Amino acid sequence: MAVVLLIPAASATIVWGPYVTNTTADSTTINWKATGNATGWVEYSPRGGETACVPSSGDGGMHRVHLTGLLSATTYSYRVVAGDEAVEDCRFRTFGDQAFTCIIYGDSQGQRPFFAQTERHGLVAERMAEEEEILFVIHTGDFVGDESEWDEFFAIAGPVLRNTTLVPVAGNHDGPVEVFPAIFGLPIRYSFDADSLHVTVLDSNDRAWADMKTQTAWLEEDLASPLPRKIVAFHHPPFSSDRKHPGGDLALRAEWSEIFSQAGVDAVFSGHTHTYERYRAGGTEYFVVGCGGGPFYPLTEEKPEGYQAGHERTLGYVRATVCPGSIDVEMVAVAEITEEGEVTVCPPGTIIDTVRLPAGTTGEWWSMLTSPPGVPELSRFWR
């Protein structure tokens, strides 16, 4: 490939990113946000290969460069230039490996004036940045508490997001529906394949119920994928022992859980309840991974049927190793925080739960589609 030289039109400051989205076996998208009206571009190359340069699609504000014609299962180095500023030593890897590792976490928002993202999400992001060869990171939603936190989120998560692919899920605190494609360049629901794994991202927020029939029909068609491994991600958990919403989001459970079971979905990942929990129903493992930095939620002692494991007041993330025959899932603890706010950082590599998927079923499936005693049928009133 020929090297194209571009001359900066004006000064610029990169305030978000770069961050990588929408990766496939032969393409990816590099995103960033900059102040000023300077042009920008991406220089990239496979390790040891020739460097190419592609200009961004925007002047000032949000910038995106979609790279195509890439080699599968290949690590690329890249740098982003915006005006007279450059971000160096970044990388991404295209999909196509027979086995790979990904990370899942969520609810990274702060709780001002009590604590900022730097204090808790910062611990999780720092530990994730130390992980090697992570193909992508799924964020299960609530990146921020409100729109004022986006700068803080991208500053903290920057060392992770510039070196792997972000798979974003819309949470109830992340703004109106138009914010999601504006920031991430992706629709609110989408799916992709990574070698043997099919990943489906859904919108579980209140707005989705206005046309849930359409989303569910799309889901059923999407899960017809012939790939041997399947996972789904959305924000609100169908199973949870959250004290304010015991049982979980029962409406979503009734809407989608039987579809997941029939389609052979290995795992469903959600957040919203700020804790770690794991349930098993209909042959599918349900993970609540809302422990990326938000304020912790109290849980009930009585757990919904299918409960397998859980840890309260723990910051951390899930690490999943995927191959055609199985998915090995580990919950990595980063820190424990007392009710008084005392922080105990866990040693690197602290694993507090592990499971190999697919796993067997536990309990009677249809009994899990009904509400626990005292809980309104199909309640979906969330924070």
Could you tell me which residue, 37 or 69, shows the higher pLDDT? 69
- Per residue in 320-372, pLDDT (tens digit) is 999 999 999 999 999 999 998 899 999 999 999 999 999 754 433 333 333 33
- pTM beyond 0.85: yes
Strands (E) across 241-380 are located at 267-270, 276-281, 284-289, 307-311, 314-323, 326-337, 343-345, 351-357
Query: Of 77, 93, 109, which one is at a domain's C-terminal end?
Result: 93
User: Is residue 81 exposed (0-12), middle (13-18) or buried (19+ Cβ within 10 Å)?
Assistant: buried
Helix (H/G/I), strand (E/B), else coil: 376: coil
Write out the two tokens for 112.
């001002």
Position 79, amino acid? R
22 and 161 housed in the same domain:
no
pLDDT of residue 9: 47
- 212: domain CATH number? 3.60.21.10
31 and 179 housed in the same domain:
no
At residue 5 the predicted structure's pLDDT band, cuts being 50, 70 and 90, is: very low
260 and 168 housed in the same domain:
yes
Domain residues for the domain of 31 are: 13-93
pLDDT of residue 378: 33
Residue 347 lies inside a defined structural domain of this protein: yes
Residue 333 lies inside a defined structural domain of this protein: yes
Query: Of 68, 93, 118, which one is at a domain's C-terminal end?
Result: 93
- Per residue in 278-324, pLDDT (tens digit) is 999 999 999 999 999 999 988 999 999 999 999 999 999 999 999 99
Residue 361 lies inside a defined structural domain of this protein: yes
pLDDT of residue 84: 83
Residue 3 lies inside a defined structural domain of this protein: no
255 and 325 housed in the same domain:
yes
Domains in the chain: how many in total? 2
* Cis peptide, bond prior to residue 358, ω within 30 of zero: yes
pLDDT over 80 (residue 1): no
- Per residue in 152-190, pLDDT (tens digit) is 999 999 999 999 999 999 999 999 999 999 999 999 999
- Per residue in 48-96, pLDDT (tens digit) is 899 999 999 775 589 999 999 999 999 999 999 988 889 999 999 999 9
pLDDT of residue 59: 58
- 47: domain CATH number? 2.60.40.10
312 and 203 housed in the same domain:
yes
261 and 299 housed in the same domain:
yes
pLDDT of residue 93: 98
